[in-house]
């Protein structure tokens, strides 16, 4: 494994491809490039929201088969994690949940992120995203403390074209076992690491684009205003 791009107070960033880096962690929280911009396989080259905004997200024009292979290779390196939270949308729900199950987690629920405002879409405009929740070990009595609809305003995508709000990721982390370590193999601009740092959790992020590693490091150093 290469030297960390950033490491401080239990928070570590690796610049590289998550298919090449092994990390030991208890919980996976991640938002992979699930090619939401293409309605059909032939339309995948149209890319995601990020592409439409003129900021291409690496690997976000994969076919469904390529996307599944990507998840399979990445999840295969994260088998120490007991829990997994993976963002997706309605088109890619089946493929994403199948890969979660194939990696040894049992899909236990569909979480819904209610953004509170409408985005793009026709004839119905999108107002939510889905999160696949998987777990290897059985849940314990008393674990069910909250509903599966999470409400948080959109971040504004100031740091990344598909950036998730810290308030949303914080809700996921709060519901993980106390002290559990976090890994985000598709780190983006580091929202998961910022949320983990705020809760005193050890966390590791992996990001293939160096510009986002730099942004994440700045956020963790609090050299930019966070959202």
CA angle 108, 93, 49 (to 5 degrees): 130
pLDDT at 56 over 60: no
Who wins on pLDDT, 35 or 197? 197
Distance (Å, rounded) from C-alpha 53 to C-alpha 34? 16
Q: What tokens were used for 51?
A: 């592409």
**Domains detected in the chain:** 6-220 (3.40.50.150)
Q: What tokens were used for 120?
A: 């793009």
| Residue-level pLDDT at 50 | 43
| Residue-level pLDDT at 52 | 42
Beta bridge partners of 11: 8, 203
pTM, rounded to two decimals:
0.87
Chain centroid to Cα 88, Å, comes to 9
| Residue-level pLDDT at 51 | 40
- Read off the pLDDT of residues 94-142 as tens digits, 9 standing for 90 and up: 999 999 999 999 999 999 999 988 877 778 888 999 999 999 999 876 6
| Residue-level pLDDT at 39 | 47
Q: What tokens were used for 136?
A: 């290897």
| Residue-level pLDDT at 152 | 94
Residue 49: closest CA among 62, 36, 31: 36
Residue 17: closest CA among 167, 158, 210: 210
| Residue-level pLDDT at 34 | 80
Distance (Å, rounded) from C-alpha 87 to C-alpha 92? 10
User: SS3 for 137?
Assistant: coil
Matching residue, tokens 């997994």: 84
pLDDT at 83 over 50: yes
């Amino acid at each position: 494994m290469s030297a960390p791009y950033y490491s401080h107070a239990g928070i570590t960033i690796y610049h590289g491809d998550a298919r090449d880096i092994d990390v030991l962690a208890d919980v996976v929280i991640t938002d992979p490039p699930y090619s939401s911009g293409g309605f059909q396989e032939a339309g995948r080259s149209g890319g995601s929201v990020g592409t439409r905004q003129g900021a291409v997200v690496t690997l976000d024009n994969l076919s469904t088969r390529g996307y599944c292979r990507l998840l399979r290779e990445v999840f295969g390196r994260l088998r120490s994690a007991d829990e997994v939270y993976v963002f997706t949308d309605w088109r890619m729900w089946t493929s994403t949940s199948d890969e979660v199950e194939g990696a040894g987690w049992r899909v236990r629920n569909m979480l819904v992120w209610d953004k509170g405002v409408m985005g793009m879409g026709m004839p119905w405009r999108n107002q939510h995203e889905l999160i696949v929740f998987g777990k290897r070990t059985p849940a314990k009595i008393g674990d069910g403390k909250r509903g599966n609809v999470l409400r948080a305003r959109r971040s504004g995508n100031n740091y990344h074209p598909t950036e998730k709000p810290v308030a949303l990721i914080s809700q996921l982390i709060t519901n993980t076992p106390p002290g559990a370590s976090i890994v985000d193999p598709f780190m983006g601009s580091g929202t998961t690491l910022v949320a983990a740092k705020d809760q005193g959790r050890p966390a590791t992020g992996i990001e293939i684009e160096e510009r986002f590693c730099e942004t994440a490091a700045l956020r963790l150093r609090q050299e930019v205003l966070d959202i």
